[in-house]
Structure 1
Amino acid sequence: MTHKLLIIEDEPTLAKLLSYNLAQEGYDVQVAEHGGEGLKMALQHHYDLILLDIMLPGMNGFEVLEKLRRNGNQTPVIVLTARNAEEEIVQGLKHGADDYITKPFGVAELLARVGAVLRRAVADGDTLEREDDEQVIRIGELKVYPEKYEVILHGESIALRPKEFEVLLYLIKRKGAVITRDELMNVVWGFDYIGGQRTVDVHVSSLRKKLEMNQQSVQIESIRGVGYKLLDKSKKDS
């Protein structure tokens, strides 16, 4: 199956470079030069992945991403940011981006990140649902409602503090990937947070106690000296 990709990028040279290299790999690629145009295309047509620049004329990448998610569009998004633009990366992930690439980047990195996000999307395709017109993420007997900050496990509500919920939601979005403590700190608490990594460890420890009473749904695994990885235990091959 040929994956269909949408590039939303206003810089013609970069748009052509992205389009050419992705087409060479067999992807079906379309390009939008403005945020509003890209949003319209993304809402009207099906795409397997969107490459979204942050600095766009008219409607910037954050606005495009926010409107996509608000309309229930869960197409995977990789944001394109300037090098060392940590705030852009954090904001993009908070708005619902699945990954990021910093400019300038090499073709090998581009193709690797696109392939990784597409593989995750295929693996997670059965977890995103809508229930009573609300988005719900389901993993086994675990149900997470992003809009309500609510978690249900085996039919019972699990009380999570706001930051615990945000940590869980991010780990679920990056399910199976190793997430460093620094990444969790930046995404959940913000790049200007002055607390230490111990804050992350305390919240993850609390999450484990609340969610891993029955490990048939999810398990948060520690990667020594690095961070954490969320495993989907509802699938035999996890």
Structure 2
Amino acid sequence: MKPTLLIVEDEPAILRGLTDLFVFHGYDVDSEIDGVQGLKRAQQNDYACILLDVMLPSMSGFEICEVLRQTSATQPIMMLTAKSTEQDIINGLSLGADDYVAKPFSTSELVLRVNALVRRSGWNQHEEALILSKNVSVCPHTLTGTSYQLPVKYTRREVSLLSYLLRQNKPVSRDELLHQVWGYKTVGDIDTRTVDIHIAKLRKKIEQDPKSPRHLVTHRGEGYQLYTQ
């Protein structure tokens, strides 16, 4: 069976173009132009990935993402935004989006990112817990954990990032993370802020003091390293 995408986009020309693009690349595509109808469709079906425009009639893409995350921690969600400011990116990722692309975007980059999300959407239910310390642990299957006695919810990307860093005993560069965690074959034209934003979000979840991290440490000029203590 072909993977099915849901695209919620209110500009007809962009919607037709995206539909044709992903059908060409082997997907089935459902679509909606209205936010409320997009949410309804998303809740009624199982999609390989949901692409949400931020600015929609009746309900924004941010609001749809927030509602979907209340019932599914594992649904792959890609935000399509006309804005590329860091605050807009942070808003989408903070609400649970797995990735974002800012308009105008490269169609090849968009397909690459969606393919990466879909490829990484199947979790091994028997994957062992990630133990960072006696105070911090993560369950990859449920995307939940505890951090200093507080319950924490993670996104799929955050767990994948932690899992990869934990397997390395060295600093890992942004380019390597984009290759190994995001699944990009080439990274020359890809915005690396998404890595930095995910690192910042993870520090808020796993560090007792995010401004003075002990687990997820930056080595200037080398990359990020995850330490267990």
Provide the TM-score with structure 1 as the length reference: 0.65
Corresponding residue of 1:159:
148
Deviation at 1:184, TM superposition (A): 3.9
Corresponding residue of 2:212:
202
Deviation at 1:89, TM superposition (A): 1.1
Corresponding residue of 1:172:
159
Corresponding residue of 1:126:
124
Q: Percent identity?
A: 36
Corresponding residue of 1:228:
224
What stretches of structure 2 of length at least 5 have no aligned partner?
131-136, 165-176, 179-191
Does 2:129 match 1:144?
no
Deviation at 1:15, TM superposition (A): 0.8
Corresponding residue of 2:197:
183
Distance in 1, Cα, partners of 2:154 & 2:70: 21
Distance in 1, Cα, partners of 2:29 & 2:89: 24
Alignment of 1:83-102 (within 5 A): 83-102=83-102
Corresponding residue of 1:105:
105
Deviation at 1:82, TM superposition (A): 1.8
Q: Alignment partner of 1:121: what SS?
A: coil
Corresponding residue of 2:82:
82
What stretches of structure 1 of length at least 5 have no aligned partner?
128-137, 152-157, 191-198, 209-219, 231-238
CA-atom RMSD, angstroms? 3.7
Deviation at 1:145, TM superposition (A): 7.2
Change beyond 3 A, Cα 1:108–1:12? same
- Counterpart of 1:225, as a letter, is G
- Counterpart of 1:95, as a letter, is L
Distance in 2, Cα, partners of 1:16 & 1:229: 43
Is 1:36–1:59's contact at 8 Å kept on the other side of the alignment? yes
Change beyond 3 A, Cα 1:51–1:226? farther
Q: How many pairs were matched up?
A: 188
Distance in 1, Cα, partners of 2:84 & 2:73: 29
Cα deviation per residue 1:174-207 (whole Å; 9 max; x = unaligned)? 45435877324664689xxxxxxxx86832xx23
Is 2:101–2:110's contact at 8 Å kept on the other side of the alignment? yes
- Counterpart of 2:148, as a letter, is A
Distance in 1, Cα, partners of 2:25 & 2:46: 20
Q: Alignment partner of 2:18: what SS?
A: helix
Change beyond 3 A, Cα 1:19–1:169? closer
